[in-house]
Structure 1
Amino acid sequence: MKEISRTKSALILAFLVIIWGINWPLSKLALIYTPPLLFAGIRTFLGGLILLIFALPKWKELRFKENWHLYTISAVLNIIMFYGLQTIGLGYMPAGLFSAIVFIEPVLLGIFSWIWLGESMYGLKIAGLALGFAGVAVISSGGFTGSLSVTGILLALGSALGWGLGTVFVKKTGGRVNSIWMVTMQLLIGGLILMGTGTGIERWSEIQWNTAFISDLLFISIFVIAFGWLAFFTLVGSGEASKVGSYTFLIPLIAIIVSSLLLHESITINLVAGLIFILLSICLVNMPVKNRKRGKPNDAEPVQQIQ
């Protein structure tokens, strides 16, 4: 992947955080009109079809016979586990609590990147990752009321695990597959499997194809799914996966702010406290650390190519 400038990287990151933050309240609204698995399958498959337009000019780099297993593994982790378990799990517990558990993913990503990508793990990064999750927990603490659903917790953890493993897998195999084909195929394969599963246990007749649902579906499919995943893996490919993951701690913050506007949810002192934790987290994870032996920045510096 070509090197991208700091300015371009910052713009892509800002787009990603905002658009994925908006996704949570929009998805909550969409689920009023549709069963969860069918919705997860439709939006991811449509996102794949949109990206297919951009991928087709590079059809020679698809190499499906050679890479089909890589596309399938990525689809299972990033689409089926992340989106499938996520949409089902939202029915078992409050969205705030569920999202707090899902966004343990950056912590998992930092650990997985250390184990499988050889990225550095040092005191400041560990503290930053822990502080970021603490910020998300503080922001979402209003959801910690009533009895907790063990099923919901397991589904949230499964969703986070799939996303973390999927991100590392995509970066680890980046040198073997074209990045846009990887994103496109994981969306198409994952979307088809989710729709097939949904067809078996849900009813298409339960979907209310009104203007509100169609508008919501198209926005999520185009911006959240298609361009969102492309932006995410563009950033992961041009820098440390764990650093990119640290910024995803801002997504629940955006989600809560937008939810307060669209769903009339209140903004509390927890939101302000959580924001402080999140900002400190980002500073710690991205703070350069000198190598004591060589006197050079360690490999916390951005990697410019997918390894």
Structure 2
Amino acid sequence: MTLSRAKAGWILAFLVLMWGINWPLTKYALNYTPPLLFAGMRLLIAGLVLGIYAFPRYKTLQIRKTWYIYAISAVLNIIFFYGFQTLGLTEVPAGLFSSIVFLQPVLLGIGAWLWLGETMYAMKIIGLVLGFTGVATISIGGMTGKVSPEGVMLGLFSAISWTAGTIYMKKTSAKVDGIWMTAIPILIGGVILTLTGTATESWNAIQWVLPFVLDMLFISVFVIALGWLAFFKLVSSGEASKVGSFTFLIPLIALLCSVLFLGESITVNLIVGLIMIIASILLVNLKSKGSKVVKL
């Protein structure tokens, strides 16, 4: 499947916006709910929405032939990714943890070169490193509070699982239906995280007020269901490393939303990081004629 440049641009813009505003929306929701139960509920709702939408295409599911693909994707992209994040954020300040997780585009660029046959050249290497540096620069303001080695490792595991899941998604995209590939792993992850939350947290701790319910429904439908569907379409139709480079914008969007809606302030780090991230995306996506291609 190949997307036109215009369509890919709109899908990318939607993805970055949704995944960016997810951070402040989730931060707000956690005032009303324990973390694991919230993670499980929003995944379950998202998976059910996608499942209902995909049901008329049930013949394309081919669960007997492709069950292992859905299972592996669920473990890497949902259970490990969200699970490591939930646990890690209790051990590491959010700013530092975000910068660790967004090492993912750099790892993805390397992985796509090694296992997907994508080209690697000097401008792309510099761009990926510059993008990560930009994210770290933006996030450095959050580096206060306790920092444990375990939390840092959980952040790294989250980035690695997302990288491996994206590469696996790209390699298997031709074997599965895109909507089912999004719905089934999210459903599996939702069930497991909800059961884990039920065993370790209390349902009575959830405050079922209208703002929380609306917040959770928005995240479930737009951020998770439509967001992961958009991510699958982009990764399966283009170079994974180039798609990954745009995810550097997600922490920036999150911080801008926090400035606008949560009263946080604009800092020099934010401005410098923004410049680095924009330069990074340009370097990764605009290959010059003189760029040296690195081959295996």
**Pairwise TM-score range, normalised by the shorter structure:** over 0.9
Instruction: Give 1:228 deviation, angstroms.
Output: 0.3
User: Which AA in structure 1 matches 2:252?
Assistant: L
Instruction: Give 1:280 deviation, angstroms.
Output: 0.6
User: Which AA in structure 2 matches 1:247?
Assistant: F
Instruction: Give 1:156 deviation, angstroms.
Output: 1.2
Structure 1 segment 202-221 matched on structure 2, within 5 A: 202-221=201-220
Structure 1 segment 77-96 matched on structure 2, within 5 A: 77-96=76-95
User: Which AA in structure 2 matches 1:280?
Assistant: A
Give yes or no for the alignment of 1:44 onto 2:43.
yes
Q: Where does the alignment leave 5 or more consecutive residues of structure 1 unmatched?
A: 300-307
How far, CA to CA, are the matches of 1:105 and 1:32 in structure 2?
Answer: 28
- Deviations along 1:216-272, whole A, 9 cap, x unmatched? 100000000000000111111111000000000000000001011222111101100
Structure 1 segment 184-195 matched on structure 2, within 5 A: 184-195=183-194
Structure 1 segment 1-307 matched on structure 2, within 5 A: 1=1, 3-290=2-289
Of residues 255-264 and 131-140 in structure 1, the stretch that sits farther from structure 2 once superposed is 255-264
- Deviations along 1:108-152, whole A, 9 cap, x unmatched? 111111111111111111110000000000011112234422222
Q: How many residues align?
A: 295
Instruction: Give 1:199 deviation, angstroms.
Output: 1.4
Instruction: Give 1:88 deviation, angstroms.
Output: 2.4
How far, CA to CA, are the matches of 1:246 and 1:283 in structure 2?
Answer: 9
How far, CA to CA, are the matches of 1:175 and 1:231 in structure 2?
Answer: 16
Asked if the contact 1:289/1:298 (under 8 Å) is kept, the reply is no
TM-score normalised by length of structure 1: 0.92
How far, CA to CA, are the matches of 2:138 and 2:126 in structure 1?
Answer: 18
* Equivalent position SS for 1:264: coil
Of residues 128-137 and 113-122 in structure 1, the stretch that sits farther from structure 2 once superposed is 113-122
* Equivalent position SS for 2:213: helix
How far, CA to CA, are the matches of 1:231 and 1:252 in structure 2?
Answer: 18
* Equivalent position SS for 1:163: helix
User: Which AA in structure 2 matches 1:135?
Assistant: G
* Equivalent position SS for 1:32: coil
Q: Where does the alignment leave 5 or more consecutive residues of structure 2 unmatched?
A: none
* Equivalent position SS for 1:67: helix
How far, CA to CA, are the matches of 1:121 and 1:194 in structure 2?
Answer: 37
* Equivalent position SS for 1:148: coil
The aligned residue for residue 304 of structure 1 is none
* Equivalent position SS for 2:266: coil
Residue identity (%): 60
Asked if the contact 1:38/1:195 (under 8 Å) is kept, the reply is yes
User: Which AA in structure 2 matches 1:86?
Assistant: Q
TM-score normalised by length of structure 2: 0.95
Instruction: Give 1:212 deviation, angstroms.
Output: 1.7
Asked if the contact 2:93/2:147 (under 8 Å) is kept, the reply is no
Asked if the contact 2:246/2:281 (under 8 Å) is kept, the reply is yes
User: Which AA in structure 1 matches 2:209?
Assistant: N
Asked if the contact 2:93/2:146 (under 8 Å) is kept, the reply is no
Change (3 A) 1:291 1:280: closer
How far, CA to CA, are the matches of 2:147 and 2:291 in structure 1?
Answer: 46
How far, CA to CA, are the matches of 2:260 and 2:291 in structure 1?
Answer: 49
Asked if the contact 2:135/2:248 (under 8 Å) is kept, the reply is yes
* Equivalent position SS for 1:119: coil
